[in-house]
A and B are shown apart, each in its own frame.
Chain A
């Protein structure tokens, strides 16, 4: 463990023995850019990853809506078109059929 620490100190000394100062003008350039506010504000849709994500995202949303629409749609109550009641008098060979429809008016006046 102590050997590692000694080695670490030695490597650190060697690594730090080669150092460079900040180039002249770099700090001024940074300060100028920071003060003038010319920072990189990337517009929302210029990020190509986001722009690409919009296409499959939109398709997925459309598909989800398409599949879920019938589930949320209010189901209509079934309406009776007509009721048929049929009697058969077999010995007299007569068949009586009553047909009830919604538009049939019982007391229709002329």
Chain B
């Protein structure tokens, strides 16, 4: 009985997969089973990251109505090329780099401005002081260029470190640090005003 284990990131869950003895005698059965097992692993790995991934895509696209399509393309491409993923690598970083490519491709293709949800409407449920700060942060993010906005949200929304962002976006560490410092300096003033 061969057993493989897959670490599902920080959630601490493990999937144990057993290989059935009978399938060794029927090759076509084994192929089908292996494909099924691979799909099960994929859906198991994506489960703990999907919420963060969706929100990263959504915010990187400025709450655009196209975010659902970009998220869908990301997941389907990841599913399609899952065979090329090495299980000793970080699945979260791998799927976020696919999302980064999809976002880049979206901005390259979309000549027209797509509809975006108004940030004021989205923060309407929050109380006045907190809502104003959130609006300030997202207003700042919306003014950034797409590449810079991605770095901003990879760091503050998805919680990636600078070396991980370098791996995902392909940008140099110095440039990422510069962007984050600029964001800090800009927001320091804005948030400082509200904190009084």
- A residues whose Cβ falls under 8 Å from a Cβ of B: 4, 7-8, 10-12, 14-23, 26-27, 29-31, 33-34, 39-40
Q: Is the CB of A17 within 8 A of B126?
A: yes
In the complex the two chains form, what is the Cα distance from A19 to B43 in whole Å?
Answer: 22
- Which residues of B are in contact with A by a Cβ distance under 8 Å? 39, 43, 50-51, 54-55, 58-59, 68, 71-72, 75-76, 79-80, 122-123, 126, 130, 133-134, 137-138, 141, 153, 155-157, 159, 183-184, 187-188, 191
**15 A–B contacts from the bound complex (CB under 8 Å):** A10-B191, A11-B137, A14-B134, A15-B157, A16-B156, A16-B157, A18-B122, A18-B126, A18-B134, A18-B138, A22-B71, A29-B72, A30-B72, A33-B76, A40-B76
Q: Which residues from B are CB-within-8-Å of A7? A: 184, 187-188, 191
CB neighbours (8 Å) of A22 from chain B are 50-51, 54, 71
Extra inter-chain contacts (14) besides given A8-B156, A15-B59, CB under 8 Å: A14-B133, A14-B134, A15-B141, A18-B122, A18-B126, A18-B134, A18-B138, A19-B51, A19-B55, A21-B51, A30-B75, A30-B76, A31-B43, A34-B76
Give the distance to chain A from B131, nearest Cβ to Cβ, in Å: 9
Per DSSP, chain B at the interface is helix
| Contact (Cβ within 8 A) B72 A15 | no
Q: In the complex, which residues of chain A have a beta carbon less than 8 angstroms from the beta carbon of B191? A: 7, 10-11
Interface residue from A8, A14, A18, A31 paired with B184 (Cβ < 8 Å)? A8
- Give the residues in chain A near B59, CB-CB below 8 Å: 15
* Cross-interface CB contact of A26 among B39, B68, B138, cutoff 8 Å: B68
**Complex formed: what's the CA distance from A8 to B50 in Å?**
23
Q: Taking CB as reference atom, which chain B residue is nearest A15?
A: B156
Q: How far is the CA of A20 from the CA of B123 in the complex (A)?
A: 11
CB distance from B147 to the nearest CB of A (A): 18
Closest Cβ of chain A to B7, distance in Å, is 23
Checking A11, A18, A20, A31 against B187 with a beta-carbon cut-off of 8 angstroms, the contacting residue is A11
